[in-house]
Structure formats: C-alpha cells, structure tokens
Amino acid sequence: MTTDQRIALYFEHAGPPVQSFRLTRFVRHTQWTPLGDRALAVWISQSRGYLLQLRGRCTGLAIAHTVQITNSFGTVSARWDSVIPRTVSVAMPQSCRIMRIRPLDGTGLRDARREMRATVRSDRAADVVEDTGPEVSDRPGDYLPSQEP
C-alpha cells in the first residue's frame, strides 16, 4: 500500500471533527501512525483512535521514533495543542499545531485494510502461472519433450 493510499484510507474512515479527546492516564505508550507530513493517527486503544490534522508540514514526523502530544490535564484540543516529533538527529524538534481532530472508525479501518490485503493476495495469485517443471518419463535420464538424438 502506498503512502497516498494509506492516507486516503484513514481519511475515509474518519468521522466529523471534534474539539478534543482525552488521553487515558493508564496508557503509557500511545500507538501512532504517521500519515505523510501533515497528519497522524493516534490510537488510545485497539479500536479507538483519532486522526490529527496539522496546521502545516511537520518536519521529522515520518522519521520520528516517538511523538509527544501536548495536552491540558489529559485533554488534547484542536487549535491549542501540538505534536512534537522526536528523532535521534534533531536537537530542537519542531512543534506542529493540531488544527483538526477526527475520530477514527478503528473496526472499519481494520476491516478495510484486511480486505485490501486479501485483494492484493488474490491479484498476485491470479498473475502466477503454475510451472511444474520439465516433463519426466518413468525411465531415469529420459526427459520429455526436448530430447537430443
């Protein structure tokens, strides 16, 4: 799946914008997925996530090993909070303002990805021509059909 296809898939499974969401204090490491350099998906549970659209390009988001999300007492708000990508090479990371928050349909997204993988697999299987190798007769050393005199 290309980056553009992945971004389109996430946007298709995002609901209408919300003003904020709560990070649960029991989640030590929030799972996240970079979606180009202007958005990311943040997962607070296996089926509950949010698409965070950023104000502009967020340098380092695609190569970040982790992200920090600013919040006020566990509440992440659009137009107020930011995403800060943490990379090994950047000493002063860029703060990227969150402009829009959209809840993700985690179950629908997971099902759509599974369906896309199944389609790709079946397309690949249809492209494969079965090669059984050379025909072999019952007698050792006797190959068919191309025999030399």
SS3 state at 18: strand
Q: State pLDDT tens for residues 16-46.
A: 999 999 987 655 567 899 999 999 999 988 8
Domain boundaries, the chain: 3-123
pLDDT per position as a tens digit, 116-143:
888 776 666 655 555 454 444 444 444 3
Q: Which amino acid is at 102?
A: R
Q: Exposed/middle/buried for 32, CB within 10 Å: 0-12, 13-18, 19+? A: buried
